Structure 1
Amino acid sequence: MTSVPPVPSASQGAGLTEPAYGDRSLADVVPSVARALGVPLADHPTGLELPSAPSYVVFLVDGLGAELLARHAHAAPYLASLVEGSVTGTAGVPSTTATSLTSLGTGLPPGAHGLVGYTARIPGTNRLINHLGWDKHVDPLEWQPHPTAFGRLARAGVHVTSVNKRDFDGSGLTVASQRGATYVGADRVGERIAAVVAASAHTPSLTYVYDSDLDWTGHKFGVASSQWLQQLAMVDAEAEQLREALPSSTRLLVVADHGMVDSPTQARVDVDAVDGMRDGVALLGGEARFRHVYCSAGAVADVVATWREVLGPRATVLAREDAVARGWFGAVHPGVLPRLGDVMVACHEDVAVVSSRDFAYETTLVGLHGSLTSAEMSIPILLG
C-alpha cells in the first residue's frame, strides 16, 4: 500500500485556528453554566469561568462570528458593549451548525457526540446523513447515544428549557443534541422573549434560545451585504430586549455556533470540473469549506496527493489519522471514526470546494463556513 505523503509544512495548516476543547469551546459552555448554577457536571473540567446566578439564559445566534461582530460593531451596539472583558471562544471542527449545536447541548466534542459535519457517511453504506434534515432510517438515540448536558442538568433538578422554532421540535438533530430539555416552540421574536422570561423564572434554571436568521441571511446574501448588516441590527435589538425583559438576577450569555466568510465564484474549485479530483473518490461529504472525502479501497494516498496538488496553499488536505492526531475533533470514539472522511479538506481564506453534481445548492450560496479559519472558528462569549 502506498503511504500517505507527508504534510507540506509551508502550505498545509497555515493560519488555522485550533478548537479550544476543555477550555473555551462550545462544548464547555453548558458545563460552565452548570457550575455557575451550583450544579456542576464534575466530569467536564473547563477554563471558562462564569459568575454564580440562580438562572442563566444562553442565547445562541447562528453565524455570529467574533470577527464579524468586531468588524460590524456599529450595527450591533448592545452586543459590542459586552465585548470588553469577555473571552473569545471557539467552535468545534467542522465549524458548522449541526456539529456546534450538538457540542453545546451535550457538552461533548464532535469526536464523542458523532455529528461530525453538515453531511457525513453512514458507516457501512454509500449514503450520507444530512444532520440538519436527518435520515428516517437513522435513530438519533443510536447515532448520538450519550446523555446530553441538558438532560443531566434536568435530572439534577435544574429547570432546563429549549426555546426554538416549532418545526424543530422532535427533529433528529433536536433529539440528538437537546433531549432532556423541555421544548417550547416559538417562531417569532416576541414569542421567544416571552417564553424565555417565563422559563427563566424558575430557579435554578437554564434556558436555551436560538436564532437562525443571521446565518440564513449570510448564506443567501453574504456577510458583506446590507441585508446581513440589517439582520445583525435586528439580532442586536433582540438581545437587548431580552436583557431588559429579564430580572437582573438572571444572567444572559450570548454565544454563536460559528462565523462565516463570503466565497466568490473565482475562489471556488468544482471537483466535477477538474480532471483527476474524482479519481479514487467513492463518496463526497461534509460541506464546501470542509470536505469529508470517502475513498475507494487503497486510494487514500493518491487522493491526498492529487487534492494537495490541485489545491496547493488554498486548503489543508489531511488523511483521517492526521486530522485526528491534530485534535480537530477531540478524542474520537471508535464508532465515530468511520463517519469521518478518509481524507479531510479544510479550506483557507475564501476558498470553497464545491460539487456541481452532488451539492448544486451549495453553489448558490454566498456566505459559507465549516473550516478552521479564525473568521469561522472564533465565537463571542458575551455576558449580559
Structure 2
Amino acid sequence: MSSSLAMRGEPNALGLPPVAGAIVLLVDGLGAAQLGQRAGHARTLAGAPGGSIEAGFPSTTATALASLTTGGLAGAHGIVGYDAFVPGAGVRNQLRDWGGAMDPVTWQRSPTIFERVPAIAIGEPKHAASGFTHAVLRGADYRGGRSVADRFALARDAARERSLVYLYVPELDRAGHELGWQSPEWTDELEQLDGAVAELAAALPRDVGLIVTADHGMVDVDPTGHLVVPHELLEPVAHVAGEPRCLQLQVEGDADAVAEAWRSWLGDAAWVATRAEVAAAGWLGEVDAEVEPRLGHVFVAARKRFAIYVDEADPGRGMVGQHGSLTQDELRVPLRRFGAFA
C-alpha cells in the first residue's frame, strides 16, 4: 500500500510524498463511472486530484479488501470470490462463514499492511471480532462507529495519532444493492459522504494525507436481465460459487465441455472461461498452488446488464445493484487525494 510507504518516506507506486500519518477511506460500492455520472452531487470527490484504478477481479468486496490490505491479488491471498469453494467443506461465504477449514489466520494467506506499521481500522462495531476482520485487517487496532458521522469523527481523532488509518463506509453499497445506484436514495448517500469527506479533509493535520478509493463499482440489473440456468446445464456441476455476476462452477468431468455448453447458451451475455484460461489471462494474478483448488473449474462472468441465477426462486433476485464481473463499471474505482497527498 503506497500510503504506508509514504509514512516511511519511501518511494511508492502512487508517488505520494512523505507524511507523518495517512487515512485510507474505502467507500464500498463507489465505482469511478458512477461517481463521474453523479459528479454534481459529489463536488469534493469529483474535483479532487487523482484519477481511478482497477480494484481487481472478481469485483467483489471480499476479494478487493483483501487485495487492498495485502497488496496482492486473489491468486496470492486466496480470497477468490464472494462465495468460494472450500475443499472438504463445500461452498462458503468469504465475508461470513469463517471457522474450521476457513481459519482467518491461514485461509487469507498474505501478511497485511497493518502488521508492518502502526495501524487503526475503523468500521461498524459488529465487525470488530469477525473472521473476515481477523483475516484482512489483522494487525490493526479496530475501532467501531455505528453511523457514518461516528466513523468519520473517529478518523479525525485517529489522524492525530500518526498511524495508518483505514476507514470503511458500507452505506452507499447497501443503498445500491437494495435500490440501484441510479436511485435517489443512492445519490442522497453519496451527497452525505461527500460532505463528510470535505469536513475530514479540512480537519487533517498538515502532515497527514487522505486517499479515497473503493472496492468495486456497480451495475443496475432489472428483472429483464435475469438469466435462469437451464437444468441440463447444471447436471455436471457439483458446486456453484461466486455470485450472479460472476459464477464459479466446480464440475464433474470435462471442464472444457461444460464451458462450451455454457457459451452456447449465453452467447454475448457473458464471458465463459475455464480455470486454466482464467489463470493464463492473469485475471487473478499469479495463482498459487494452494489457491488453485478454491477456484471454479469454469468462470461465468456476466456482460452488459445481466445476472445469472441457478434457482428461479433465488431471493437475491430482488437485488438491483450488482457486481462481480469484468466490466469497467464494476472494476474501475476512484483514487482521490486530499490533505498532504493532494
TM-score (norm 2): 0.95
Instruction: Pick one of 208, 224, 228 that aligns with 1:270.
Output: 228
What is the identity, as a one-letter code, of the residue corresponding to 1:382? R
Give the counterpart letter for 1:136 in structure 2: G
CA distance in 2, matches of 1:332, 1:48: 25
Q: CA separation in 1, counterparts of 2:6 and 2:20?
A: 8
- Amino acid in the other structure paired with 2:324: G
Deviation at 1:275, TM superposition (A): 4.2
Q: Does 1:115 align with 2:115?
A: no
CA distance in 2, matches of 1:130, 1:108: 20
**In 1: Cα distance, 2:12 partner to 2:223 partner:** 41
Counterpart of 2:296 (choices 310, 335, 341) is 341
Task: Note the C-alpha offset of 1:206.
Answer: 0.8
Please identify, of 371-380 and 182-191, the stretch whose mean Cα deviation from structure 2 is larger.
Answer: 182-191
Pairwise mapping of residues 277-316 of structure 1 onto structure 2 (< 5 A)? 277-296=233-252, 298-316=253-271
Unaligned runs of 5+ in 1: 1-29, 154-158
Distance 1:74 1:134 in 2: 39
Q: Distance in 2 between matches of 1:305 and 1:362?
A: 27
Rounded to whole Å, the distance in 2 between the matches of 1:98 and 1:39 is: 30
CA distance, structure 1, for counterparts of residue 330 and residue 109 of structure 2: 28
Which residue in 1 is equivalent to 2:28?
62
User: What secondary structure sits across from 1:36 in the alignment?
Assistant: helix
Which residue of structure 1 aligns with residue 105 of structure 2?
141
Contact 1:279–1:303 (CA under 8 A) maintained in structure 2: no
1:319 is matched with: 274
CA contact (8 A) 2:98 2:132 kept: no
2:314 to 360, 363, 371: 360
Aligned to 1:13: none
Structure 1 pair 70–342 and aligned structure 2 pair: CA distance change class (3 A)? same
Match for residue 39 of structure 2 among 56, 69, 73: 73
Whole-angstrom CA distance in 2 between matches of 1:123 and 1:258: 27
Query: Using the alignment, how far apart are the partners of 2:129 and 2:231 within structure 1?
Result: 43
TM-score (norm 1): 0.85
Report the alpha carbon displacement of residue 46 of structure 1 after superposing the two structures with TM. Answer: 5.9
Give the C-alpha shift of residue 301 in structure 1.
Answer: 2.1
Moved more, 186-195 or 343-352: 186-195
CA distance in 1, matches of 2:95, 2:82: 7
Q: Name the counterpart of 1:200.
A: 159
Q: Aligned residue for 2:209?
A: 251
CA–CA distance in structure 1, aligned partners of residues 149 and 61 of structure 2: 24
* 236-245 or 304-313, which deviates more: 236-245
2: CA distance, partners of 1:165 / 1:309: 44
Aligned length: 337
| 1:280 alignment partner AA | P
Summarize the Cα distance change of 1:239–1:316 in structure 2 as closer, same or farther, 3 Å threshold.
same
AA matched with 1:227:
E
Which amino acid in 1 is paired with 2:215?
D
CA distance in 2, matches of 1:119, 1:276: 23
Q: Which residue among 193, 197, 220 is the counterpart of 1:235? A: 193
CA distance, structure 1, for counterparts of residue 190 and residue 149 of structure 2: 17
Taking the aligned partners of 1:379 and 1:268, their CA distance within structure 2 comes to 25
Alpha-carbon distance in 2 for matches of 1:48, 1:313? 36
Post-superposition CA distance 1:236-279 (Å, at most 9, x none): 112112112222321111000000000111112112xx242212
Which residue, 103, 112, 119 being the options, matches 2:67?
103
Residue 382 of structure 1 is matched in structure 2 by 336
Aligned-residue CA RMSD in angstroms? 1.5
